[in-house]
Amino acid sequence: MAGPLITVVGETVLDYVPTRGGGFAGRVGGSPANVARGLARLGRSVLLQTAIGDDEAGQLLTTCLGDDGVRVDPASLRPGHSSTARAHLDGAGRASYELDIHWDPGALPVPAGTTWWHTGSLATVMAPGAAQVETALRACRTTEVPTSIDFNVRDPLPWPADRTLRHLLGLARDACVVKASEDDVALLAPGQDPRVVARGWLGHGRTVLVVVTLGERGAWAATELDEIEVGTPAVQLVDTVGAGDSFMAALIEALLPPTGQDPKTWRQVLDDPRALAHGVHRANVAAAICCEREGADPPTRATLGARLRA
């Protein structure tokens, strides 16, 4: 794995996920950590700025992240216990969580050489780390590093819906790409069409692409010039844990040019509706593959390529 550096910022969690045998298995979780794993498995160079304790859970997390090719910032490792979550699945394979999360990463300087910066989920709303995430996002704007944010909110919201949405949109002004699920929009703007809500996020600050995932119906994306909707392939559903994160990782990977080319050319995808549709389709397929596996298990580049060819 080599090439331009992608920096991912946010929580890493040891998820206890139900297994087919009726028990629970410990898996790497936390939306940003899953995005980092997905990008690394797709062959990108990834640095994760997070918070991991020195307990048994933390040792498992750092080992698994390293096995996937994710480089964890040494400043992210500190004494104490690691964040955990216990997942519960409904009849449709959708997950809800009992959380024991601690998000206090300290300062989050943007690493030299970063060519893309991503964050999302609890890291953007949970004190005290959310303030550090906001500072890092603003620093990226100053240095013109492209950025993305995945709202990926959790129920219950940290504040009333209107206040939570205002907070997230304040952050999103410094994000070039903003992603949410239709479930996110239902929590943040109840009763409103997610496409209409998300279209209103365009043109504010740095935002040039908004994406809403639509579950089994695929995903919708819009720029200031175009709007597309791409369906998802048939899925042999096991669960949906990590599907949105697999989508996000594959979307970022699709926006960036191949290793060895100038990363600043990523905006060219936005100017070509066919290229953007291909990128969203690629992300849909990555999410579908994850849905066919237990827990957050994003595909490798080889697996995704084989599925796309098929």
The predicted-structure confidence for 145-189, as pLDDT tens digits, reads as follows 999 999 999 889 999 999 999 999 999 999 999 999 999 999 999
Average pLDDT over every residue of 69-87: 94
Contact by Cβ (8 Å): 100, 84:
yes
Q: What does the buried/exposed string (b/e) look like for 90-117 if buried means 16 or more CB atoms within 10 Å of the residue's CB?
A: eeeeebebeeebbbebeebebeeebbbb
Judge whether 195 and 219 are in contact, CB under 8 Å: no
> pTM here?
0.94
**What CA–CA distance (Å, rounded) separates 293 from 310?**
19
Domains defined for the chain, CATH in brackets: 5-309 (3.40.1190.20)
Which of 55-59, 87-91, 240-244 has the weakest average pLDDT? 87-91
| pLDDT at residue 3 is higher than 70 | no
Give the span between the Cα atoms of 256 and 178, in whole angstroms: 15
The 3-state DSSP class for residue 76 equals helix
Angle among Cα 235, 214, 45 to the nearest 5 degrees reads 75
**C-beta of residue 309 within 8 angstroms of C-beta of residue 258:** no
Report which of 62, 66, 56, 67 is spatially closest to residue 77, judged by C-alpha positions.
62
For residues 35-55, average pLDDT: 97
- Measured distance CA(206)–CA(229) in Å, rounded: 22
Q: Average pLDDT for residues 294-307, to the nearest whole number?
A: 94
Q: How far is CA 14 from CA 34, 35, 36, 126, 249, in A?
A: 11, 15, 15, 17, 19
What average pLDDT does range 22-26 have in this prediction? 77
